[in-house]
Structure 1
């Protein structure tokens, strides 16, 4: 009985599982170490996207893969721009609390509420990079080269991008939030106000 368990525990499937677990641990360690290197990470991803676009232009095919990648990146970008808790949800919660009765004051929280993204920067970068690598690999297999009239896909994507971003900008204006740090200065002098030195990074 023990011999059977030992043979089954040390078989090819078990060795493959061990190697897979070790690889996942090393990969996660590399991802954790790359977290602070924002510009370097996005530069590498930009190079991958450029290589993919060059591949599509030179090969004159795989337009459906390019379109699918564009739609996916647009969805990820919208999640990156959108706050995790929208102001409309906060207003609904406040109305519910007022209906249920008085609660403890939370003045400090109301004075400063950092912008927390629905999709953090690191996860956004990881999703974009992973999708770009998959699209680049798919562009080397003829089975994914579905014949389509690419100008229609391009026009449709431009229209979809315009409508989506217009809706997002209206949402930003309505609830008065900015998903980026636009030359915000940190106040290091006396006073130590609540607004000094706080950014809106949502990673």
Structure 2
């Protein structure tokens, strides 16, 4: 059974296509026009072992906000499509990932209930031209549209690039563990549904 999702989102601000395969090998093709964001999305696909394709054309002449937000929306929707009713998945996943001095802890529940806990201090506000506040907003968009609970706690780090790289890698590993298939079958909930 294929666990894939494809979402096309066209607005006056962005044109986005996202394809995801939960059972991929970490093959990633990303082009958003935002180099640092592309680098982070590459980490998500590779370390989550997702086949991930993201093509985004946004109104970057204004700023990067709409592109980052809409990629998060489309990615969340594609993930939700890929795992369907969440039958046969582990459901919970967690990870701790260090990048040099930075360490981030992440826990995910494919709960069907969107909730983000974000405990990440950001040493600087810009990486190149990328506004670092957009990283939280990206994850808010993913969480709301994938309908997951996500806790992100950065434990240490004084290099902002390292902090965010540890965030994306930890999210990737936790997601990989949560979507892993189990031989128990069925929806992993005493309610019988995840919503």
TM-score, normalised to structure 1's length? 0.26
Point out the structure with max Rg over C-alpha.
1
Structure 1 or 2: more strand by fraction: 2
Structure 1 or 2: more helix by fraction: 1
TM-score, normalised to structure 2's length? 0.26
